[in-house]
Amino acid sequence: MTDVGDIFCEEPWNGLYSVGVNGDVVFCPCYAKLKIGNIREASTSEIWNAPILVDIRKSFVAGRIPPSCKDQLCPVVIKSKSNS
């Protein structure tokens, strides 16, 4: 069984990573394509609490890699695969 501490990622709590010229917001530098909201359509508070981002946080709190992270090549995902 994988230890929860080994696969935890703090990125979903660190902040909103970037806002594109079209207003699309992403939260993680590994996730350039995962839009969690659009600043023209929602407030920063609404985006920060968007269901997709809340679900990602819940996965890490439960000790699981979120489905949307599984194909990323970040250190957290690579480590989780080497531990399984």
Residues within the interface to ligand SF4 (CB under 6 A): 9, 11-12, 28, 30-31, 69, 72, 74, 76-77
**Smallest distance from ligand SF4 to CB 28, Å:** 4
**Smallest distance from ligand SF4 to CB 80, Å:** 8
Of 9 and 25, the one with the shorter C-beta distance to ligand SF4 is 9
Question: DSSP per residue over 21-33, as a string?
Answer: TT-EEES-TT-TT
Of 31 and 48, the one with the shorter C-beta distance to ligand SF4 is 31
Residue 61, φ and ψ in degrees, nearest 5: -60, -35
The Cα–Cα gap between 60 and 12 comes to 9
Phi-psi region of 10 (alpha: psi -120 to 50; beta: other; left: phi over 0): alpha
Of 13 and 40, the one with the shorter C-beta distance to ligand SF4 is 13
